[in-house]
Amino acid sequence: MIGTIRDRLNDLPTRQRWALAGVVLLGLLAVPQVSTNFFVMNVFIYAFIFIGLGQSWNVIGGYAGQFSLGHAVMFAVGGYTTAILFIRHGVTPYVGIFAGGFVAAAVGLFLGAATFRLRYHYFAMATLAAALIGKTVGFRWEYINGASGIEYPFAQLGTPWSMMFRDKLPYFYLIGVMALATTLVIYRMDRSKLGMYLRSIDMDQGLARNSGLNVFNYKMYAMGVSSYIAGVFGGLYAQYVLYIDPMSTLRVLRNIDIIIVPIIGGVGTVLGPVVGAFIFIPIREYTRTGLSGGYTGLGWVVVGVVIVLISIYRPGGVLNQYFGRWD
């Protein structure tokens, strides 16, 4: 069924496709008109954050085929940078989130420079080790308050440049616009030469190199873009939760969280992370609250089953056309 829908969509003329995208977008804009329920808003805002994170991972993991297991590090770096710049140095988060993006990109490039020699499982493990180093440091480093994390000063709530809002609606629009902008950037990349280069690295790195492509440089380029996006959304996350600590940003599960979005939606596709986020986040949030108390964790079991089934029957996610040919 999904395959048919996908093929139909692919057959649509460009103009109708944009019209369809516009309709979906207007529908999203209208959500707060229908319900400003705390919980519904929360689900959408988290979905927007995870669209951003999914797109971020997709650049390096999906397009370039480098299976990073350490993206939570860049996410956390962005978040901490934004929070520390604002709370300790009075830099507005409207600047801070982008500064966080740059710091995250620097960390990502460092990580990339160290690990891009490796491929496949080896790269995945090296980035996982980096994630664990990040976690250990995050819990112990006193400059960022170690395990207790950094709290935002509530006295600043609602002041114009603090990006701290009293209700969820501004967050909905702010983070929604950022997720949309990110998706558009990825759309541009998907159609550009860069997208083609990255795909060719994914398909056959040796062949790409022999065709004269500087594989390392393009991987670094992808890692920089990817880490920058992860950092920006880390900043947005910190601004939304108004608290940042290593448990919520650096635990091992956060790395997996980020990857699940494109896995479910579609690895190496523009809309994959969007679809994935809107499948994954509602499952996660509703099972977390609906199955709380004695049933904690069952939601994750459901997600696990979904991932196993998708890996077997739809490797590469529901929207993936390249892997789709395998079935």
Partner 1 sequence: MVGSLPLQFGWIEYLNLVPQAFFSGLLMGLVYALVAVGLALIWGVADIVNFAYGEYMLIAMYVTLIGANNYGIDPLFMIPVNVVLLFVAGYVTYKLVIKRVMDAPMLSQIFVTFGILLILRFGMLFVMGPDTQSVETFMFDGAVVIAGLNFSLPKIVTGVVSLVTLVVFFLFLNRTKTGKGIRATAQDPEAAQVMGIDPDYMNGLAWGIGSATVGVAGTMVATFFSMQPELTPTTWTLFAFASVALGGFGNILGAVAGGMVISMVEHLGGVLLNPSYKELYIFLVFILVLIYKPEGILNWGEGE
| List of residues 6+ apart from 127 with CB closer than 8 A | 67, 68, 69, 70, 111, 115
CA distance 74 to 89: 21
Task: Tell me which amino acid residue 307 is.
Answer: I
CA distance 268 to 253: 22
Task: Tell me which amino acid residue 305 is.
Answer: V
Nearer to partner 1, 45 or 74 (CB): 74
Task: Tell me which amino acid residue 129 is.
Answer: A
DSSP state, residue 60: I
Beta carbons within 10 angstroms of residue 255's beta carbon: 25
Nearer to partner 1, 173 or 300 (CB): 300
Nearer to partner 1, 102 or 300 (CB): 300
Q: Report how many helices (DSSP H) and strands (DSSP E) the chain contains, helices first.
A: 15, 2
132 lies in the site for partner 1, by CB under 8 A: yes
CA distance 194 to 259: 22
282 lies in the site for partner 1, by CB under 8 A: no
26 lies in the site for partner 1, by CB under 8 A: no
Q: CA angle at residue 49 from 44 to 52, to 5 degrees?
A: 125
252 lies in the site for partner 1, by CB under 8 A: yes
203 lies in the site for partner 1, by CB under 8 A: no
Beta bridge partners of 243: 151
Question: How far, rounded to the nearest angstrom, does the alpha carbon of residue 24 sit from its chain's CA centroid?
Answer: 21
Site string for partner 1, 46-75 (x = CB under 8 A): -------------------x-x--------
Under rule CB under 8 A, how many of the chain's residues touch partner 1? Answer: 49
Site string for partner 1, 111-130 (x = CB under 8 A): ---xx-xx-xxx-xxx-xxx
Beta carbons within 10 angstroms of residue 304's beta carbon: 11
- Smallest distance from partner 1 to CB 84, Å: 15
CA distance 65 to 200: 9
Region binding partner 1 by CB under 8 A among candidate stretches 28-36, 87-95, 138-146, 210-218: 138-146
Region binding partner 1 by CB under 8 A among candidate stretches 26-34, 47-55, 140-148, 209-217: 140-148
Nearer to partner 1, 122 or 286 (CB): 122
Nearer to partner 1, 109 or 128 (CB): 128
- Smallest distance from partner 1 to CB 15, Å: 33
Which residues are at the interface with partner 1 (CB under 8 A)? 65, 67, 114-115, 117-118, 120-122, 124-126, 128-130, 132-133, 136-137, 140-141, 143, 252-253, 256, 259-260, 263, 267, 295-301, 303-308, 310-312, 315-316, 323, 326
